[in-house]
């Protein structure tokens, strides 16, 4: 545990975060964790695996946000909050690495392709004033991550202009510099940013586990198909499981506390 903190925590991390990580229950970081998954068991080494939480942003998830304004039922995304919180708490307590992403653009919109701005022919689009500030613009309230899953200062937040988290970002460099080879992927939406990111990751050699209860779509059929496409053909893009299975596997990897003699 301690060597993880030494290796990955920068000097800017508040002391209380370091103490929280060091004093958390000791997980056996050197042994492989096996998770029941489809199409077959997913195995990972905790020190080489990051939890990647995609776009859990207020504008997508909160009532009154941009997503709801477009007529979407945000409860379909909000059901992912609780399992993500539970997983994030356990993952942090084990001293493992977490990375968050946000979809959005520079305030001058210089990184917004005109095609993305115009797509949908909506009367209100990216960069326009919305219910929680300018829509999908960095620094605006709606662009930020929901409070329930708010990043710690030690956790990188990758701001991405596209649907995939690798396009136009330093995510690959961050993962390489930290020795990450595998990703547990959660967030929204299943068929858009989660799927695109998993495909990008797969092409770069990362092995992804997607947790069905921790990813969400406004459309039930896309949720189903988005997951089926990942695990099809022997796991063409990755693996699919449930957070309960991952939590069980993490628990099995944490030695039971020794009882005093």
Contacts of residue 144, Cβ cutoff 8 Å, sequence gap at least 6: 57, 58, 102
Identify which range of 6-14, 25-33, 165-173, 186-194 contacts ligand C5J by CB under 6 A: 186-194
Min separation Cβ 184 and ligand C5J, Å? 17
Q: Under the criterion CB under 6 A, does residue 59 sit at the interface with ligand C5J?
A: no
Contacts of residue 123, Cβ cutoff 8 Å, sequence gap at least 6: none
Identify which range of 80-88, 146-154, 184-192, 240-248 contacts ligand C5J by CB under 6 A: 184-192
**Quick check: is 5 catalytic?**
no
Q: Which residues pair with 214 in a beta bridge?
A: none
Identify which range of 19-27, 164-172, 176-184, 189-197 contacts ligand C5J by CB under 6 A: 189-197
Q: Of these residues, 59, 193, 214, 231, which one is catalytic?
A: 193
**Residues 85 and 181 sit within 8 Å (Cβ to Cβ):** no
- Please select the residue that binds ligand C5J; options are 175, 193, 247, 249, rule is CB under 6 A: 193
Residue-by-residue DSSP string for 6-45? HHH--TTS-HHHHHHHHTSPPP-TTSPEEE--BSS-EEE-
Q: Under the criterion CB under 6 A, does residue 84 sit at the interface with ligand C5J?
A: no
Residue-by-residue DSSP string for 167-229? TTSSHHHHHHHTT--EEEEEEE-IIIIIHHHHHHHHHTT-EEEEEEEEEE-SSHHHHHHHHHH
Q: Under the criterion CB under 6 A, does residue 74 sit at the interface with ligand C5J?
A: no
- Interface pattern 96-135 for ligand C5J (x via CB under 6 A): -------x--------------------------------
CA distance 197 to 164: 4
Q: Under the criterion CB under 6 A, does residue 188 sit at the interface with ligand C5J?
A: yes
**Quick check: is 160 catalytic?**
yes
Residues labelled catalytic: 55, 160, 193
Q: What is the contact surface with ligand C5J in residues (CB under 6 A)?
A: 55, 103, 188-189, 192-193
């Amino acid at each position: 545990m301690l060597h993880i903190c030494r290796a990955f925590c920068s000097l800017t991390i508040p002391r209380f975060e370091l103490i929280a990580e060091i004093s958390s229950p000791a997980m056996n970081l050197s042994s492989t964790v096996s998770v029941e998954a489809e199409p077959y068991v997913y195995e990972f080494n905790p020190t080489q695996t990051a939890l990647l939480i995609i776009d859990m942003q207020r504008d997508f998830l909160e009532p009154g946000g941009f997503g709801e304004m477009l007529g979407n039922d945000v409860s379909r995304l909000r059901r992912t909050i609780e399992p993500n919180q539970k997983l994030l708490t356990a993952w942090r307590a084990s001293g493992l690495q977490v990375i968050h992403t946000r979809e959005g653009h520079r305030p001058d919109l210089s990184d917004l392709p005109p095609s993305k701005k115009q797509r949908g022919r909506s009367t209100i689009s990216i960069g326009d004033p919305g219910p929680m500030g300018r829509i999908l613009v960095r620094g605006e309230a709606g662009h930020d991550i929901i409070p329930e899953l708010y990043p710690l200062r030690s956790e990188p937040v990758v701001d991405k202009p596209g649907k995939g988290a690798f396009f136009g970002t330093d995510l690959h460099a961050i993962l390489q510099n930290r020795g990450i080879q595998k990703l547990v992927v959660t967030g929204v939406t299943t068929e858009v940013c989660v799927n695109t990111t998993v495909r990008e990751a797969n092409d770069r050699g990362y092995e992804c586990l997607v947790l069905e209860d921790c990813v969400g779509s406004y459309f039930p059929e896309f949720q189903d198909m988005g997951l089926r496409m990942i695990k099809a053909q022997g796991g063409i893009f990755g693996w699919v499981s449930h957070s309960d299975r991952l939590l069980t596997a993490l628990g099995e990897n944490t030695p039971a506390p020794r009882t005093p003699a």
